Amino acid sequence: MLKKSLAIGFFMAIFMAARASAVEVPIVGNVAAKCVIVPDTAGVYGNPSPDELSTDTADGGVAPIVRYDVLQANFFKAVISYPTAFSVSPALSDVVNWTGSVATSKVSVSGMSAYDTNKVEYNNTSEFNLTIAGTTWFKTNSTAEYGYGKAFPSGTYRAVVTAECIAL
């Protein structure tokens, strides 16, 4: 009987000690107005004709896609610019003419489709007021034409799309 009581007491003591050593680990999180820019898809230039490089799918290219995650509505604007120069290219002796466009390619809330009609465009830049909380994907198309029907010299061409998120 005494042995049994001692054994029970021993296990109770171990159990209590284990409970006493348990520590609470807090997890703290804050939700605040925040804009996150996610480069979703890297772009690739297709070369449909000797004098043209284009991100258009029909030209064998891939248009870069940038994702914007906005936690609160009406706090940010997205400012996206298509390139007007190559960051890496062989030596070019003639002018490169750039054209391009920026538009939404996917939206997480249907109301975001109005972003395209309300966007403000100037030079190579498009501005979108992010009036709805959620995620928007923007696709940037760009085309570079070399001189007047001149063939681009062979080599690697690279350009940079600028995606900005500015607090309003």
Q: Interface with another protein by CB under 8 A: which range of 2-10, 11-19, 119-127, 152-160?
A: 152-160
- 137 is a site residue for another protein (CB under 8 A): no
Does residue 123 touch another protein according to CB under 8 A?
Answer: no
Among 1, 31, 91, 168, binds another protein (CB under 8 A): 168
Could you say whether residue 162 binds another protein (CB under 8 A)?
yes
Q: How far is the CB of 164 from another protein (least distance, A)?
A: 4
Closest approach, Cβ 16 to another protein, in A, equals 40
State the pairing for strand pair 120-122/76-81: unpaired
Member of 51, 52, 54, 55 binding another protein (CB under 8 A): 55
84 binds another protein (CB under 8 A): no
Q: How many CB atoms lie within 10 A of CB 5?
A: 9
- Is 45 a binder of another protein (CB under 8 A)? yes
| Long-range contacts, stretch 123-127, CB < 8 angstroms, 24+ apart | 123/81, 124/81, 124/82, 124/83, 124/84, 124/98, 124/100, 125/79, 125/80, 125/81, 126/79, 126/80, 126/81, 126/101, 126/102, 127/77, 127/78, 127/79
- Comparing CA positions, the residue from 102, 89, 106, 109 lying closest to residue 152 is 89
Among 52, 66, 107, 136, binds another protein (CB under 8 A): 66
Q: Should residue 124 be labelled a site residue for another protein when binding is judged by CB under 8 A? A: no
Cα distance between residue 162 and residue 149, in whole Å: 28
d(Cα 61, Cα 53) in Å, to the nearest integer? 8
Which one of residues 20, 28, 42, 91 is an interface residue with another protein (CB under 8 A)? 42
What does the binding site for another protein look like in residue numbers (CB under 8 A)? Answer: 32-39, 42-45, 55, 64, 66, 69, 75-76, 83, 87-88, 142, 156-168
